Structure 1
Amino acid sequence: MNNLFSMDNGVFSFLGKMWDILVISILWLLLCLPIITIGPATTALYYTVVKVIRRERGYLFREFFHSFKMNFLNGMVLGIILMALYYILYIDLNFAKAMEDANMRFIFLAVFSAFSFIMLCGTVYVFPLLSRFTMGKLQILKTAFLMSVKHLPTTILMLLIVGCFAFIAWMQPIFLFFSSGICLLLCSLPLERVFKKYIPKSEDGEGPKIDEWYLE
């Protein structure tokens, strides 16, 4: 009977994780409201989902705000750059759709659609990369797009996950209150396997002991 109500019970552990996901999803949504803070908010959400929810390290709010503050400037700038690029592509696509010549319309739509797809592929890597690696803003963008090509199956899988959650949230906006955390949790399953290939493990006995939770 004691085991039934133990906090180590699988059911209670699952419910606890779902509650944590709900809390940080709402927090992410609130911090995204200024729009320009979408970048650091998404970076913090991914970092917290992987470290606290998956690896059970640290505390929910402490880890979230630690990542949010540490990556605030870079995340905000990267978010603005991506939004500007998407806006340009949106204008280009509308321009292509308005073309009277059918052949030219088809060519330009194909070209701009291809650029949009490439943008989406790189975007799903940008903020997770920022949460884990120390790089300049341009290097983050370059690495994101290179990774998206090199690990294309993982990229396609993450795009499908994000697309499904975006569609459900569009159909049922209330889903936004907890979908973001679950979405990034699912994306982290294949993405963390990719990241491990680029993170050297420290040699035993050399330097201070580090909790390499990201290598588990």
Structure 2
Amino acid sequence: MGRIFDMDSPVMRFLTVMADLMILNILTIICCIPIITAGASLTGLHYVLLKMARNEEGYIVKSFFKSFKQNFRQATIIWLIILAFIIIFIGDIMIFNYAAIEFPKALRIFLIVLGLFMLMVAIYVFPVLSRFDNTVMNTIKNALFMSILSFPKTLLMLILYALPVVIFYFTPIAAPLIFLFGISAPSYFAAMLYSGTFKKFEPEEEEIIDRFEINGKNDEVN
């Protein structure tokens, strides 16, 4: 019985992970409230979660704010780009649905495909920013590259991120659980998926720089 409550026991490790995910979820929500800080908040979240997925985690809150501050400028720029795209995308959808004229079907398909690519970038870009140093545009390009490189994992990540929304839609009573784990839990499992993809670019940095421009951050924003 005493072994169950040993710090190295599976039960205690599970409870520790759950506690960390709860703290991270609440912390991320609070730091996203100003809206403009959402990018830095998500970057800090993924910085910690990747370490957790690799059993490298240290101080959760300290690590979160370390990444938050370090990547604030680039994360904010990327977030504003994504936010602008979302606004334009929603506007286009409304025009297509309510305009008096009929738009070509090919244009609608193009918009859907463009939205899918942007969604793929969005789920990778903050994890990429949290792990690799680069310019804003190269970070976005590398996020797209990685999402295509690991397309089956990308689809699974999309399902993971959509799951809390689906659960809340069909079971509103689950709202407290979603508030505590709705962002961090899917992101934690996503980190387990993209961790392997990231490792392909981590060992030989010089080769990666030459081929994919993953590293080599500078102050210039392309």
Q: How big is the shift at 1:107?
A: 3.3
Which range is displaced more, 104-113 or 157-166?
A: 104-113
Counterpart of 1:111 in structure 2 is 110
Tell me, yes or no, if structure 1 residue 196 matches structure 2 residue 207: no
Q: Which letter maps to 1:18?
A: M
Supply the RMSD in Å over aligned alpha carbons: 1.9
Return the alpha-carbon distance in structure 2 between the equivalents of residues 32 and 167 of structure 1: 21
Q: How big is the shift at 1:178?
A: 1.5
User: Normalization by structure 1: what TM-score?
Assistant: 0.85
Could you tell me whether the CA contact under 8 Å between 2:48 and 2:57 is conserved in 1? no
Q: How does 1:72-151 map to 2 (within 5 A)?
A: 72-102=72-102, 104=103, 106-151=105-150
| CA displacement 1:104-157 (0-9 Å, x = unmatched) | 253332221111111101111100000000001011111111222222112111
Q: How big is the shift at 1:54?
A: 4.4
Q: Is the alpha carbon distance of 1:5 and 1:189 closer, same or farther for their aligned partners in structure 2, counting shifts above 3 Å?
A: closer
Counterpart of 1:16 in structure 2 is 16
Return the alpha-carbon distance in structure 2 between the equivalents of residues 51 and 108 of structure 1: 42
Counterpart of 1:154 in structure 2 is 153
Q: Which letter maps to 1:147?
A: M
Could you tell me whether the CA contact under 8 Å between 2:39 and 2:78 is conserved in 1? yes
Q: Which runs of 5+ in 1 are unaligned?
A: 203-216
Return the alpha-carbon distance in structure 1 between the equivalents of residues 117 and 182 of structure 2: 24
Counterpart of 2:220 in structure 1 is none
- SS of 1:4's partner is helix
Q: Is the alpha carbon distance of 1:115 and 1:190 closer, same or farther for their aligned partners in structure 2, counting shifts above 3 Å?
A: same
